[in-house]
Every structure is written in structure tokens, then in C-alpha cells.
Amino acid sequence: MKNIKLSTLIYFFCLICSTSTLRAQNSVSYFISLRGEISIKIDKADFFVCISTTGEIVNFSALADGNISRNFNEKIDRIGKVNIAYDIHDRISKIGDESISYDIHGRVGQIGETRISYNIHDKLDYIGDKRVYYDIHGRIERIGQIRVSYDIHGRLDKLQKEEDLFYHPLNYGSLNEPVYVDIIEK
């Protein structure tokens, strides 16, 4: 009898641990160009989605291997065992088991459990619990705990995470090409 109870407890412990591991895989990365433009990469267990500051999906990838199939509009609808569904406006509405919904303005409003909101200027306001702040010129000023600063020419100069004293000075590429920095806050 004790062995049955012990095995039941171990089963529930493993179930709880595996559930928390799956949730830990959901993270948000911020890609900031030297011009101060931002795109958001939302990582889920089986895929990631990149959205622009105006709420459009600019890229996605399913973490799967296998054959790729396309629907009648030539859009990818399956990668290996991962299905990709589209709504009546031909926007991605589901990848695997996670739904993607849009607000009344056609912007991404939610990806799985991650809610996304916009301010009155139609720019990203919140991604999950991370707030995006802008300066008076409409440039990103802060994302959650990460401060963004600009040089005297208005170019992105420094990223600094308040709590960990994270500091990342930026160097410009040749011909002032945008250099992308991946900032991950978990």
C-alpha cells in the first residue's frame, strides 16, 4: 500500500515539474536595431513568432523536422507534425496547440498565454508583463528593466539592465547598417 502511495506522489511530482519546465520555455526576446526600432520574438515550446512594433507577424518558425506542406494559397500549413492554421484574413491563427489572436485593428493581441497590448499611438505597450516605454521622439526608452539610450546623433548607444547592472555598448557596422541585439528577459 505504501508503494502505491509513494509511486502516486512521485508521479504527481514529475507531472508538476514537467509542467513548470514547459512554462519556463516561453520567453520574450527584444531585437533592437541601431535606429531604435524593435521587433519582438516570443518563444514557445514548439515554435517562435517575431512581431513588429505595429503588431504584424514578420517571421515564425516551428521547432520541428519533417516534410513541409502548403495550403491552396501556397502558405505553409504543416512542418513535420506541427500544424499551422490561418484565419479568414490569411493570418496565422494557430501553430501547434497555441492559438494566435488579433485585436479589432488586425494587430497580434495574444500568442498562447502571452498577451500583447498597444498604446494610443499604435505602438507596443505591453508584451506579457513587460512594459515598453517611449521617449518624446517615439523611440524605445525602456523595456521592462532594460534602459535604452541614444548618442547625440539619435542612434542607439547603450542597453543597460537595472537589476543585474547589465551593460551592452553598441558598435556600428560598416555603412551604419543596422546591428541587431537580442535581449532576453525571463
Q: Is the alpha carbon torsion for 7, 10, 16, 19 positive or negative?
A: negative
Q: How far, in Å, CA of 56 to CA of 54, rounded?
A: 6
The share of the chain scoring above pLDDT 90, in percent, equals 26
* pLDDT in the model for residue 94: 95
Q: Are 54 and 122 in contact (CB under 8 A)?
A: yes
Q: Is the alpha carbon torsion for 7, 13, 15, 21 positive or negative?
A: negative
At 33, the pLDDT band (50, 70, 90 cuts) reads low
Q: How far, in Å, CA of 6 to CA of 124, rounded?
A: 49
| Whole-prediction pTM | 0.68
Reported as a single tens digit per residue, the pLDDT across 61-107 is 888 888 999 999 899 999 999 999 999 999 999 999 999 999 999 99
Q: How far, in Å, CA of 161 to CA of 142, rounded?
A: 10
